[in-house]
Amino acid sequence: MKKSSIKSSLINLVVLIIVFGILIVLCEFDILSNYIRGILMVCCISIIMACSQNITVGYLGQIALGGAGFMGIGAYTAAIITKAMASANILVGEGVPDTLRFLIAILAGGILAAIFGVLVGIPALRLRGDYLAIITLGFGEIIRVVIQNLKFLGGKGFSEGSAGQALVGINRISNLYVVFWVMVICVALMYTFIRSKYGRAIIAIRNDDIAASASGLNITFYKVLAFTVSSFFAGVAGGIFAHYIGSLSAGSFGWLKSTEYVIMVVFGGMGSLTGSVIAAIVLTALPEALREFSDYRMLAYSVALIIVMIYRPTGLLGTYEVSVTRLINKILGKKEPSLHAIKAEVEASGTKEEEVVK
């Protein structure tokens, strides 16, 4: 079964390379306008954010509404790092690609967001349900208010008691091609994390935390781990956002932004990363596609959400993951191995059943 896993990974990689090739052709021959490229960039950011929120909301089963706050931490951290590099002339000049500075900045933004994720998660995850949603919402707003009052981030200082100005002068060094592969790597890492023993423990806690605790799982550790991983990727998304927009305002990372990404998770299916990917694309592109009908744009957007929630309350995919390999097998008429076939393989090879299922 390990060979089939490698085969599936190779098929997914080939499909991604084909999609990337199509993207290159459309961009290089100016088939896609700058406006459409901008929408694609926002879609990549939304995909990373929606998948990161799915770790806590979907797989862990905890309603957290502070994702935009960690996105803001990553955005401002990445922006300050690239501005500092430019001022100190570090990794700047001929022969030094902007991509290197960009990757360093978004990685640093993700790491700092993860650190804050640990600090916030330890006290917050002692609660659950509505109480957790309220406290994470509060932490997100605290982060936003602190950011907009720090002088080195464009604020006027806490003594002024008023919101600061936007942080400007950020190098717009985010490249759609690079961001595409950063998005792919982030989603792949999150998928691998969920399929690991840590992810299975997190899902077990969601299903029944009392039984999971009785089985010997350290519930606090795994909750904080999930929250930290989610915060890291939110910080990475924030770093990409900063270098795409070129200026930052703390108001961009308020509670409405957090709610927007949670809606994407619910729309796609809590417990499905591919559902989050589809929902992020649809809910990012739909308002832009309806921009010509500006008077009714948000009405249509809201009606679409209501219809999905009425007829598909578990989201578009629920907990189902779309598999390219499975789709190809269906097209070719190949059947997936049954439980009887797996047991026969176990008896024939002498392999442990857990390894075959894996």
Q: Where are the domains of the chain?
A: 43-260
- Nearest one of 71, 131, 121 to 257, comparing CA atoms: 71
Calpha distance 132→103 (Å, rounded): 33
Q: Residue 116 is which amino acid?
A: F
Where is average pLDDT lowest: 116-120, 170-174, 189-193?
A: 170-174
- The answer to whether 280 and 47 have CB atoms below 8 angstroms apart is yes
Measured from the Cβ of residue 91, the count of other Cβ atoms closer than 10 Å reads 14
- pLDDT per position as a tens digit, 122-161: 888 887 777 888 888 888 888 888 888 777 676 565 555 5
Q: Which segment, 1-10, 137-146, 238-247, is predicted with the most confidence on average?
A: 238-247
Q: Residue 204 is which amino acid?
A: A
Q: Which segment, 101-105, 283-287, 345-349, is predicted with the most confidence on average?
A: 101-105
pLDDT at 354: 45
pLDDT at 358: 46
Q: How confident is the model at residue 4 (pLDDT cuts 50, 70, 90)?
A: low
pLDDT at 202: 94
- The answer to whether 202 and 222 have CB atoms below 8 angstroms apart is yes
What percent of the chain has a predicted confidence (pLDDT) above 90?
38
The helix or strand, by DSSP H or E, that contains position 44, with its residue range, turns out to be helix 34-54
Calpha distance 207→319 (Å, rounded): 13
